Structure 1
């Protein structure tokens, strides 16, 4: 009699084989996309044949068990015990296969993550490569511009060299036409230096004469008139020591040689000067009165009395 459980025992093995092939195809597709490292590639090559071997052995065992079930169906008493054992073995094999599939799924998931990481790295490298290409293009453009500038500068240098040669030729021609010798040039230079020295001497002499004339003109216009008091009457002193009488009330100061702040007259040029001083004062035997004209701290004239003194001039 045919065993109804025969086809049922073979179905999980076929499904497992199809799942393994699906996992293997997906792994090959991921390998083609990302190009896994050598370590993952070697593990995959070693792991897939082992998985196929386990699936084949499991399928063969299930098929053999199915055949044995058909032949020993008549032995019902022993068959029940064998069937239970086969079911246990089948469950154990199925669990092992599912464990292997879980490992394969985890490996495929890890491989996908690694492929995504490699794709991101590839995108970053692609972006860097594009940036490098742009920089290279910019540098190449700059290099071409520099080459063009160099060519322009070389052309300008050549033109300047040609102009320099032409100017040198013209200078040589001028020298030949002028027939100027070194001695003639030195003579002309000495003559020019002598003329410059003479001109400088004449200039100094003219400046000195101008200063002298200026001083003479200023000296001819020197005059001042001043008084001690602002009013007609008043007293100054007495003083126990010699003091400088400052005539602060200036009526005339031509040439500004007299300083009303210090009472000093400064002669701008050498010459003969005439001074007139009118002073009135009361003296006594114990307190005489005097007036002195001083030039450079030297007494030039002095008027002195012990009695009334007035209207002296010097």
Structure 2
């Protein structure tokens, strides 16, 4: 049983929790939308920045790949060594000739870096550095003619190998370490009026290799 007075008051008054069932205010919805729009704009900016960062990283990686390839090419260019003997085959004597004469060592044993040309007899330096060269010449005995040859750099006589005996076989050798610039030419030149002998045992040879770059 509810007293009449109390029942009337309850019916005529507002419920205590009526405000909890009121619809959301339009101003609140607009504020939420504005916040979401601002957040999306910030995310777009961050995405664009990430894209730029990725593009920069891709360019950096491509540059690093190019640098590695260049280093590989330089390393290959720095691997230089050759050795060749005078006659391509068989046996024979070169000279005597009444003038200093370029010797072409035609049988290639090793030619790493392809800096030696067996058609011209020239070694052409591919990189600046210190190179060591050696040459050996076979001396067939002869009363009138010795055996001799120069090591030559760009036309300059560096050192000579020389032997002279009247009979039997002999040999002579020499060598030098040279500082070469790119394009410098080194070769062996036969001394005038001398004889140089070679056969299938490859007695007369010309060799060289890069010690280190500079």
Asked if Structure 1 and Structure 2 have the same fold, meaning a TM-score greater than 0.5 normalized by the shorter chain, the answer is no
Give the helix-richer structure, 1 or 2: 1
Give the strand-richer structure, 1 or 2: 2
TM-score by length of 1: 0.31
TM-score by length of 2: 0.42
Structure number with bigger Rg: 1
Q: Which has the higher contact order (CA 8 A, sep 6+)?
A: 2
